[in-house]
Every structure is written in C-alpha cells, then in structure tokens.
Amino acid sequence: MGELAELIRSERMALADFLETLTPGEWATPSLCSEWRVQDVASHLAFAPVQPGREMLAGLLRYGFRVDKASAELSKKWAERGPVEIVRQLRANAAAGTKPAIVPEIATLVDTVIHTLDIRVPLGKPRTVPAEVFGPVADFSVTTKWPMTISVGGSARKRLRGLELVAEDYDWSYGEGARVSASGSAVLRVLNGRRVGRGELTGPGADQLYATLPKG
C-alpha cells in the first residue's frame, strides 16, 4: 500500500470509529452540506465509491445532469440503509482501497477529510487533521479546477484573489495580498466553500474573504 493509499485508509477508519459513537439524534443533525444530515454525508462516503456507473448515469439523467442534485438524492437514498450498514461499508472501502471510477486518488482523500469536517463541526466534536494529511488536502483543494469546483461553490483561487490565507496550526499558506489567518479546520472549509464563522478569521483580509463564503 502506497503512502497516499494509507492516508486514505487511516482517515476512513478514523471516521468509521467516530460514527460508531454517535447517538440517533447526532446522526440526524444537519451537516455543513446544505440540506444533508450527518447520515446523508456518511452514506455518500460509504456508497459513492461502490456505486455502479449505470446508477450514477441514471441519476444524472433524472436530474438534468445537475451533479449536486443527483449526488444529494442518491446519498439520501443510500442513507435509508442505516448507520450500521453505512459504517460497515466505510470499513470495507478502507480495507479494499475502493474509490469512485475516474476520480484521482488524492480526490478520495480530500472527499473523506472535508466530509468528516462536514460531520464533526456541526456536532461540536472537532478532530485535528494530521499534518501529513492537511498539506496534500489543502494543496489539492486550492488548485482544483472546473468541473470539480462545482460542488464547492467555485474556485478557491478566485475566492482568495488579493489575499494570503495562512493556516495558524500548520506550515501552510497560499496567495499574496491582505493576510487572513485561520485554524486548519477553517482553512479547509474556506477552500471547499463551507461555512466559516467571522470570528474564525483574523487579519486585514478577513472581511473580504468572509464576504465570499456561504452563510446560514
């Protein structure tokens, strides 16, 4: 198993272990993904990698090739299988190194890490992303190009134009201009179009960056 594959396996197993600790109410908590519960996000991570190509194509056709809509509806459908089956499939994916077709391996790591934040942040149960994971995820997130930027509200590079984003707890920064400092968790959420509290951003460029992020 290569280094990247081992990072993916480790992050998947960490998420599976965490999900097993959740109460029914926590599984039903709204995630950072609009209109997705924690259970919907977890089901996406569990079953998207093993989804038959014909099922995805059928979903795209049904929803007019709106990728976000098709993904959301499929994830909610898979969520009906329940927490036990979701965790079982996550562990199976970790063991087999399963990933969605035509998706680069690094994208699988990013998907796991960002969706883990989507789950943990609303629950108020943070986890420090390992340094060896943070760097590759942040680097890929800031360089992602269309069409992969559709699911994160647009290009992170455009969002950071005229700004320097600095991760306070990691040796990582990107861009030039007015400085914005934030925790590693907030940086990854910024790069992937997630909600960030205004108080999580500091520095002369904080207001400018906050204005570009989703609210509510």
Q: pLDDT tens for residues 2-20?
A: 999 999 999 999 999 999 9
Is the confidence at residue 70, as pLDDT, over 70?
Answer: no
What percentage of residues in the chain have a pLDDT greater than 70? 87
**Residue whose entry in the numeric block shows the structure tokens 């924690």:** 38
Tens-digit pLDDT profile for residues 105-141: 999 999 999 999 999 999 999 999 999 999 999 999 9
106: Cα separation from own chain's centroid? 12
Report whether pLDDT(69) > 60.
Answer: yes
Closest CA to 159 of 86, 211, 114: 211
User: What's the rounded Cα separation, in Å, for the pair 34 and 30?
Assistant: 8
Flag whether pLDDT at 173 surpasses 80: yes
Judging by DSSP bridges, how do beta strands 163-167 and 172-175 pair with one another? antiparallel
CA-to-CA separations, 93 to 10, 49, 61, 98, in angstroms, rounded: 11, 8, 27, 5
Beta-sheet strands, E only, within the chain: 163-167, 172-175, 178-182
144-157 residues labelled b (16+ CB within 10 A) or e (exposed): beeebbeebeebbe
Classify each residue of 64-86 as buried b or exposed e, where b means 16 or more C-beta atoms within 10 Å of its C-beta: eeeeeebbbebbbebbeeebeeb
Q: Do the beta carbons of residue 43 and residue 79 sit within 8 Å?
A: yes
d(CA 174, CA 194): 18
pLDDT in tens, 15-56: 999 999 999 999 999 999 988 999 999 999 999 999 876 666
**Contact residues for 210 (Cβ-Cβ < 8 A; gap 6+):** 196, 198, 201
pLDDT, position 144: 84
Q: How far is the C-alpha of 95 from the C-alpha of 100, rounded, in Å?
A: 15
- 136 cis-preceded (ω within 30 degrees of 0): no
Ranges of H-type helices in 80-155: 83-96, 105-123, 131-143
Which range scores top for mean pLDDT: 66-80, 133-147, 156-170?
156-170
Q: What pLDDT shows up at residue 103?
A: 82
CA angle at 212 for the pair 207 and 214, rounded to the nearest 5°? 115
pLDDT, residue 74, reads 85
